[in-house]
Structure 1
């Protein structure tokens, strides 16, 4: 049962780690700043971010850089009820959209393809009417096969919402909070940052060199400004999956421990059985029984014990799988491949545990066995 559960959690973790994030994770580092904690007002904070991004983009080894208000793949979120031009919300319909405020070149930095329309520019931040870019899932849900560019949306509820945000582009889908939440309907608005923000830097250098470059450029602008949460985006994803990793490791550890104890117990039982049958086996060998037949007779008892264990353990494991199915990702609680793998592993372990006593039984000297009795 424990081994089956371990297999489910390990497979679930593998599925989470291999989920397509929609973002190119390689050579992408991230860090956060909070200039308001150092006394920066909105205008100074915006100026700081603009100068920092310009310096980073002009640095050797940096291909692009951008900022976002919400750090992706971290479990953080900013959602808002959204009204969409031409779409009448049905009773109880989920009209939430997941928001993020971005600087220009965010999609270039993340390598998220722009499917339709254009990216934000420097002039878009203070434009009126406001502008937005939506992801493919948002566009497909609300506009079907029609173009989303040029359509309008608004934020907030109410019977007559103000549709004052123009859609200027559609980008490919990417994950927002993490793999478990899947692809959200996303709306991106332009911003240059003022308070806390997360900055992403795509480089051609190693992460250590990139971190040193980031600290150097920040200190050039303000030596007293702390840089925190400096990591690769892959490391950020790993942190998001930390709980799943711990569950998989613990369940695998307990599963292997239970298997080890079961194999030791089986070995002890079979060693005791062989000792009790020593006289019988000696007589059979003296009467001409083949040693392979003796070995097989002992292994049959191993198979009987294994069959009993599987008959009890597999249904119990399937029940456990149903119980923990809500904790799994991309795999059913009764996944047949895990069940078959568990049975094969237990069969191999049981065979190895029983093989030593069986081999000893086949090597019994009939004269010594009869003299012993």
Structure 2
């Protein structure tokens, strides 16, 4: 935008407007291509960093994260389109018919017209606003992620190995034979040196429960089943609570005496106790829940289950699960054919994997073992999406912050160059360095404040959409917004200080003679 005199000279020498436009567009496209090449290098480095930071299971199995021909073609197309999009307006402005009047003007003319200043100012405000929005989103995701790192899961995940043991109704047509087989497996695994205790569950920790069931307190007003509150129905062996160190806070845990022939009992979690019984003691109360029929998809009749204990809340449906209410019942009283074996060891559980597998195959050499992993790995996988989202937003926010800083630096540098004569005159008339510094920084301050205001308004809408992705932090967290605003203001000061300081060093004599 500061090359009108050059354009005027070229035009006076016979260059047509279309030729001048082509010149400017060629320059813009070349700059865009150089930027695109640098962006590809930066993108490749960022991709490698993300692959190291984020576990591979964060991505779909079919996803192949790599820079292939499609990425290169897309980058080329975006670079050319960017050069055209952001080059056409300056090219049209610089080659406007009014440029011929500049040949008659010995000064700067109207180079820095108000309309052009407004365009530049709007772009800087937009950059600051976008940087604020992305930084707020990134900050919220990072705070949420660190909250998840330190969240209590309800269980002790250290040194616990889990594995699936699928069994079929064809091999075990009745529940008594199934329960006998499961007891034999547990006994063999418990005998392995280094194994402290094992337990069955119908699903791995933090990976859901067997069923979601409508539940009714028998002593409360009976309502239709469709209108009842629901909860998870997790089938476990009595050793599950001690093996996973899931604390019983009231009453007792399930026991080996809770067999098929004994009265049906269950343990409820604290959330269900608060929801259904509030401040009352739930021990001895009964919940009406339909019976699970082994090997069949349809449920059995509704039976009363007596509450014998209350257990600490467990993260049943993932690390961020703060809402699950439900019950635990014994696999002796409600057997199922999908089983997970949870084994607590005294050392690294993966080191005992082969010994545990050998013990199981000693009972049944044909028993399949699936999804062998530690509970720590399950916890890590449960946080994988949060880690990926935080990392990606962090990258975008960093780029936006750099662009905002570079944009402010460019605008203030250009403004200083355009006002060289004015600054020199002010210096010649006795303006101090502090006064000249303030003169230059005032404009940057206004642009930054406007950008922050627009960013705050924009972030209010974005964070509302992000609310479901956050854990332990509010979508409109004032601390995050204050920190981001301070960071952006600091970057703006740093970006603008160099050209502002340069303005204070202008020689008044040279400035007055400056064209």
Q: TM exceeds 0.5? A: yes
Out of 276, 283, 287, the position equivalent to 1:149 is 283
Match of 2:192 in 1: 59
Q: From the superposition, tell whether residues 211 and 349 of structure 1 become closer, same or farther in structure 2 (CA, over 3 Å).
A: farther
Out of 467, 488, 497, the position equivalent to 1:346 is 488
Q: Does 2:165 correspond to 1:165?
A: no
The C-alpha deviation readout for 1:287-329, integer Å capped at 9, x for no partner, is: 5443343333322221111011112221121122234334433
Give the structure-1-normalised TM-score: 0.86
Bigger mean CA deviation after superposition, 298-307 or 241-250: 241-250
The offset of 1:108, in angstroms, is 0.8
Secondary structure in structure 1 of the residue aligned to 2:367: coil
User: Computing the radius of gyration over CA atoms, which structure comes out larger, 1 or 2?
Assistant: 2
Out of 203, 212, 220, the position equivalent to 1:87 is 220
Match of 1:26 in 2: 158
Q: From the superposition, tell whether residues 308 and 163 of structure 1 become closer, same or farther in structure 2 (CA, over 3 Å).
A: same
Match of 2:51 in 1: none
Give the structure-2-normalised TM-score: 0.64
The count of corresponding residues between Structure 1 and Structure 2 is: 369
Separation of aligned partners in 1, 2:274 and 2:460: 38
Q: Does 2:444 correspond to 1:302?
A: yes
The offset of 1:207, in angstroms, is 4.4
Greater RCO (CA < 8 Å, at least 6 residues apart): 1
Separation of aligned partners in 1, 2:274 and 2:462: 38
CA contact (8 A) 2:318 2:382 kept: yes
Out of 72, 96, 99, the position equivalent to 2:233 is 99
Question: 5+ unaligned residues in a row in structure 2: which ranges?
Answer: 1-132, 292-300
* Structure 1 consecutive aligned stretches of length 4 or more whose deviation exceeds 6 Å: none
- What does residue range 135-284 of structure 1 map to in structure 2 within 5 Å? 135-156=269-290, 163-191=303-331, 195-284=337-426
Q: From the superposition, tell whether residues 255 and 142 of structure 1 become closer, same or farther in structure 2 (CA, over 3 Å).
A: same
CA contact (8 A) 1:36 1:45 kept: no
Separation of aligned partners in 2, 1:137 and 1:240: 21
Match of 2:167 in 1: 35
More helix by share: 2
More strand by share: 1
Match of 1:49 in 2: 182
Bigger mean CA deviation after superposition, 97-106 or 329-338: 329-338
The C-alpha deviation readout for 1:154-204, integer Å capped at 9, x for no partner, is: 3139xxx85443333222222221354424332111116662212222223
Match of 1:110 in 2: 244
Q: From the superposition, tell whether residues 164 and 4 of structure 1 become closer, same or farther in structure 2 (CA, over 3 Å).
A: closer
Separation of aligned partners in 2, 1:363 and 1:226: 79
The C-alpha deviation readout for 1:107-161, integer Å capped at 9, x for no partner, is: 112212222333333342323322222223333433444443333333139xxx8
Separation of aligned partners in 2, 1:367 and 1:208: 78
Q: From the superposition, tell whether residues 215 and 285 of structure 1 become closer, same or farther in structure 2 (CA, over 3 Å).
A: farther
Question: 5+ unaligned residues in a row in structure 1: which ranges?
Answer: none
CA contact (8 A) 1:25 1:234 kept: yes
Match of 2:211 in 1: 78
